């Protein structure tokens, strides 16, 4: 933030310096033009006066030029001097100007508001200086007005720049400050929090959206790591303890061959149970991390659903699946998502398999449709349902509802499916009524058709 303030104040300073320099340049240019133009007007009148005096019939220098505009307080003067530059006589001449006059050429200068234009003339061996003076009305009045006007314009301009800059700073920094406050509230204990996106097309909106996606990935990875540690210590300890106990009991004394076989069989069963739990736990952990070297590519979700149905029926021939494709869009591009076909099929097959398993009629009802920028998959059953007070725990690995004691399973399917859906920037939600059935809703974002065409 401090660097931003430095940049902002630096830009304001540069803009103010540029404005002041530009105004000074304009004033300087106009002043030089006014001086140069006025000197040319004086030189014209001086030359006309010289023609009148030196080539005319009159010897005096008090004259008027009826065909040339009279300048403000215009005066003419003439000085005759010798070769030693001593004044012989003069008319209308102020002797204090003598040292400022070029005695062998022309000279232009000003004293106060009065401008002078003089020239040396040699007439019949006599030396003359002829000059004209006048006040520059434009300089004394208009330039002063212009100067005051430019000063006021600069002050108002600087004030405007400062006010607008501070307003822009406030309007730009305020949402950044709000984002910073929201980010500071997020920690390992509340990774579920998200930033306010606001204008999705703005830079800050895109930043907030990107940060929210990162938070989603971090939350998934953090939860997976936490669950892996807690569940590994709990779920793996039970079969290991069973194996050690059976082995110690078998080795505690001499036993018959049948007893040894029986002990070994118990150890094999416990080891198989341990292997299944370990595989499930590792699969869940792997799907919880983004950095799993998976390559996502466009896949059609209707094909994923059909493949998942085939997988479920291959697992248990008694499972039945009724699929409703009536909500499918005419444009197949609206069914394409960017993801891993293998993982998506694994997630859908787990959800459908659970629906069949926990239903008395072994039937799952699947519906597939599309909405703006996404696809919807609904999996419904008419099974035992989930107790309302236990719905908050269904995503915990190895958790099984209290009414599932008569059904086999490890409680890993639903958490695994949710992790996979999260990896694809989707959402999974569950609603259930005890004794009436469960509905699982999966929403996945589709690929923008414009990106597909551009690609």
Least confident of 213-227, 251-265, 415-429: 213-227
pLDDT in tens, 392-418: 888 876 778 888 878 877 677 788 888
Confidence of residue 380 (pLDDT cuts 50, 70, 90): very high
What is the per-residue pLDDT for 363?
92
What is the per-residue pLDDT for 379?
93
Picking from 447, 434, 433, 430, the residue whose alpha carbon sits closest to that of residue 392 is: 430
Question: Taking 80 as the threshold, does the pLDDT of residue 181 lie above it?
Answer: yes
309 in Cβ contact with 352 (< 8 Å): yes
Confidence of residue 440 (pLDDT cuts 50, 70, 90): very high
Taking the C-alpha atoms of residue 106 and residue 119, their distance in angstroms, rounded to an integer, is 4
Question: Taking 50 as the threshold, does the pLDDT of residue 62 lie above it?
Answer: no
Picking from 367, 390, 385, the residue whose alpha carbon sits closest to that of residue 443 is: 367
What is the per-residue pLDDT for 365?
94
pLDDT in tens, 200-248: 667 777 888 888 878 877 776 676 666 556 556 655 666 778 788 888 8
Taking the C-alpha atoms of residue 19 and residue 95, their distance in angstroms, rounded to an integer, is 45
- Structure tokens of 434? 């005890």
Structural domain spans, the chain: 2-140, 187-291, 294-455
Taking the C-alpha atoms of residue 1 and residue 5, their distance in angstroms, rounded to an integer, is 6
Question: Taking 70 as the threshold, does the pLDDT of residue 281 lie above it?
Answer: no
pLDDT cut 90: percent of the chain above it = 11
Taking the C-alpha atoms of residue 290 and residue 281, their distance in angstroms, rounded to an integer, is 17
pLDDT in tens, 320-369: 999 988 888 877 778 889 888 878 888 888 899 889 988 889 999 999 98
Confidence of residue 164 (pLDDT cuts 50, 70, 90): confident
Over residues 172-194, the mean pLDDT reads 77
Question: Taking 50 as the threshold, does the pLDDT of residue 59 lie above it?
Answer: no
Say what the pTM is: 0.47
What is the per-residue pLDDT for 453?
52
* CATH code that applies to domain 2-140: 3.30.450
- Structure tokens of 293? 């070297």
What is the per-residue pLDDT for 291?
45
What is the per-residue pLDDT for 430?
93
Over residues 92-114, the mean pLDDT reads 87
CATH class, range 294-455? alpha beta
Domains 2-140 and 294-455 share a fold: no
Taking the C-alpha atoms of residue 304 and residue 348, their distance in angstroms, rounded to an integer, is 8
pLDDT averaged over the chain? 80
What is the per-residue pLDDT for 119?
92
């Amino acid at each position: 933030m401090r660097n931003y303030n430095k940049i902002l104040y630096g830009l304001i300073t540069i803009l103010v310096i540029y404005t002041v320099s530009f105004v000074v340049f304009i004033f300087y240019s106009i002043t030089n033009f006014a001086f140069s133009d006025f000197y040319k007007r004086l030189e014209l009148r001086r030359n006309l006066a010289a023609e009148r005096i030196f080539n005319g019939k009159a010897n005096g220098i008090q004259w008027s030029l009826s065909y040339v505009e009279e300048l403000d307080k215009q005066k003419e003067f003439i000085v005759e001097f010798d070769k030693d530059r001593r004044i012989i006589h003069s008319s209308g001449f102020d002797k204090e100007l003598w040292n400022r006059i070029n005695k062998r050429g022309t000279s232009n200068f000003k004293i106060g508001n009065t401008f002078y234009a003089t020239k040396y003339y040699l007439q019949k061996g006599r030396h003359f200086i002829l000059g004209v003076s006048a006040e520059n009305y434009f300089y004394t009045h208009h330039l002063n007005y212009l100067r005051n006007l430019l000063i006021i314009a600069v002050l108002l301009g600087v004030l405007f720049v400062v006010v607008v800059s501070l307003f822009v700073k406030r309007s730009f920094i305020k949402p950044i400050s709000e984002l910073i406050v929201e980010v500071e509230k997020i920690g390992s204990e509340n990774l579920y929090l998200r930033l306010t996106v606001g204008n999705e097309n703005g830079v800050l909106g895109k930043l907030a959206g990107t940060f929210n996606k990162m938070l989603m990935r971090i939350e998934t990875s953090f939860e997976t790591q936490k669950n892996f540690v807690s569940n590994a210590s709990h779920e793996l300890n039970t079969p290991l303890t069973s194996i050690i106990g059976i082995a110690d009991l078998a080795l505690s004394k001499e036993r018959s061959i049948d007893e040894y076989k029986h002990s070994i069989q118990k150890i094999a069963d416990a080891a198989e149970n341990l292997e299944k739990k370990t595989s499930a736990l590792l699969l869940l952990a792997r799907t919880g991390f983004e950095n799993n070297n998976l390559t996502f590519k466009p896949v059609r979700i209707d094909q994923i659903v059909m493949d998942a149905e085939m997988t479920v029926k291959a697992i248990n021939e008694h499972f039945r699946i009724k699929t409703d494709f009536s909500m499918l869009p005419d444009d197949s591009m609206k069914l394409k998502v960017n993801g891993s076909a293998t993982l998506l099929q694994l997630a859908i097959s787990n959800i459908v398999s659970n629906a069949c398993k926990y239903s008395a009629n072994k039937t799952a009802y699947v519906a597939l449709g599309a909405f703006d920028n996404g696809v919807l998959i609904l999996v419904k059953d008419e099974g035992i349902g989930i107790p309302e007070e236990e719905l908050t725990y269904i995503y915990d690995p190895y958790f099984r509802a209290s009414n599932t004691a008569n059904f086999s399973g490890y409680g890993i399917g639903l958490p695994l499916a949710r992790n996979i859906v999260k990896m694809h920037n989707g959402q999974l939600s569950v609603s259930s009524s005890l004794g009436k059935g469960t509905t699982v809703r999966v929403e996945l974002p589709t690929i923008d058709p414009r990106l597909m065409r551009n690609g």
